[in-house]
Chain A
Amino acid sequence: MIQPHDSAIVRTLGRIIIPVSQLFGIYVLMFGQYGPGGGFVGGVVFAASMIMAILIFGVDSTDSNLARKILHGDGVGLLIFAGVGGLCLIGGGQFLNYSYLQIPNLDEPSQHFVGILLTQIGVAVDVAVTGVSIAISLSFEEDVTRSEEASNG
């Protein structure tokens, strides 16, 4: 599996950069409706920060906790997205017709706004999880059996 990196410079820089890039990922995700960005970019930036954590501190360290835990939610992002669509179905509209999201006290455009926001979050979660998962799969060595349970939920 991935071993921790022993350079002090890399580790210190990592401690600073990783939280910053995670914040940036969340900002891009939330700001996607007003400027460039959105679910994909936010998710990828978030995934990149976690991959960085894994590469610098190793999979088993506490600093990579988030990256490891997030793998348990393999399909959560997709289920959020499909769940929003399903709510529209239950509300009586077509799949993903946000006008039928049953949210009280909101006019139709705002319902669409909320729908877009929720689905963006779904996309971001899915992209982040899958990015980390693919990175871990690609760096697996052939005869590893030990850390398997830690990495796959």
Chain B
Amino acid sequence: MAIEIPLLILLVLTAAGAILVKDLIAAVLILGSYSFALALVWALVGAVDVAFVEAVVGAGLATVFFLLTLFRTNEKDRQIRRPPVPWTAIVGLPLLGLLLLFGAGDLPTFGDVNSPASTHISPVYLESSLEDTRTPNVVTAVLMDYRSFDTLVETIVIFTAGIACALLLRKGGS
């Protein structure tokens, strides 16, 4: 818990930087460091696989995509004048915030060993993955075997993104 607090503060600070900095390239690079801070937090919580993916995908690939776009377009957030805040945001945000706090009331505490999420199905994965699949990394076993169909569909999502980018940007492609 003690190391976590500075990391969480770093997280908020980097997010603030990415939002507030006017130079878009700098903002995107700060966003990359936000991803990296996030990866550190997750590694601390014990989610190494998620941390690895976030570090590689979030801090790496996403930043590269952002930068490539900025090279082809405009690097400055000009912001000539501040537009009025849309009324949907004025009404919606406080409501959403209240809903978030409302929902927090009954959530189990952080690290609760007896929460339904820790007791209902997940022990099955942990206890039988080695016998079922000879795979010590339980996350990989669940990702590619117990719930492999989700992974297939998600691979379709990536493929679709590739095709979609080609359709949108390559003139007369194919």
Contact = CB atoms under 8 A, between A and B. Distances in A.
The answer to whether A and B touch in the complex, with CB atoms under 8 Å apart, is: yes
Main SS of the interface on chain A? helix
B172 A135 contact: no
| Residue from A85, A116, A144, A152 with most neighbouring chain B CB atoms (10 Å) | A116
Given A77-B155, A119-B148, A135 B64 contact: yes
B69 A138 contact: yes
Interface in A95-153: 95-96, 98, 109-110, 112-113, 115-116, 119-120, 122-123, 126-127, 129-131, 133-135, 137-145, 148, 151-152
Interface stretch (B12-20, B21-29, B45-53): B45-53
B131 interface: yes
Given A134-B162, A137-B166, A119 B53 contact: no
B133 to A, nearest CB: 4
A57 interface: no
B49 A129 contact: no
Interface stretch (A9-17, A32-40, A58-66): A32-40
Interface residues of B, number: 48
B148 A152 contact: no
A116 B152 contact: no
Nearest to A135: B68
Interface stretch (B82-90, B91-99, B116-124, B138-146): B138-146
A48 interface: yes
Interface residues of A, number: 55
Given A32-B137, A75-B159, A138 B171 contact: no
Given A34-B137, A36-B48, A129 B162 contact: yes
Contact of B159 (A34, A40, A126, A144): A126
Interface string B75-115: 00000000000000000000000000000000000000000
A137 B134 contact: no
B172 A137 contact: no
A41 interface: yes
Given A130-B162, A152-B166, A33 B140 contact: yes
B61 interface: yes
Interface of B: 48-49, 51-53, 56-57, 60-61, 64-65, 68-69, 71-72, 131-137, 139-141, 143-145, 148-149, 151-152, 155-156, 158-159, 161-163, 165-166, 168-174
Given A48-B61, A82-B152, A148-B170, 4 more contacts: A32-B137, A135-B68, A139-B71, A143-B171
